[in-house]
Copies of this chain bind each other. A is one copy, B any other.
Amino acid sequence: MYYKTKTIAVRYGETDQMGFVHHSNYLKYFELARIEWLLDLGISYAAMELDGILMPVVSARVKFKIPLLFGDNFNVKISLKKEPKATLEFDYIIINQKNEIICIGNTVLAFLSSMKKRPVRCPKFLLDKFN
């Protein structure tokens, strides 16, 4: 069970002089996949922040298989790794227009109150959406 993002074109400014997408950008691609998935589930992360809930990344892992190039289009497949509790854990696969696996990744996100900058529990409406 995963969500697959819309097709995304590599942006020129995301490449580096090696001629590949700079590896730091994959963390940004994972992030937009999370946000697009939440939106698809009816949850606006922008509204969640206004309501005082932040979702910082507490760990991230990426294994790079094939570099993305300028001119490539890609999709991010995202799935929930396990039942959400104090944290949310996601797995990711990025595939290009030829359906080749570009990279696989994983991130763990926590919940923080924006006022006190203290950890809080996963909001109930989020738990409900993922269960």
Contacts and interface: CB of A to CB of B under 8 A. Distances in A.
A56 to B, nearest CB: 6
Chain A contact patch, size range? 35 or more
The 9 closest A-B CB pairs, nearest first, are A46-B71, A15-B17, A24-B27, A23-B57, A24-B24, A13-B28, A61-B61, A17-B19, A59-B63
Given A11-B28, A24-B27, A71-B44, A17 B49 contact: yes
A63 B58 contact: yes
Interface of A: 9, 11-13, 15-20, 22-25, 27-28, 31-32, 35-36, 44-47, 49, 54, 56-64, 67, 69-71, 114
A80 to B, nearest CB: 19
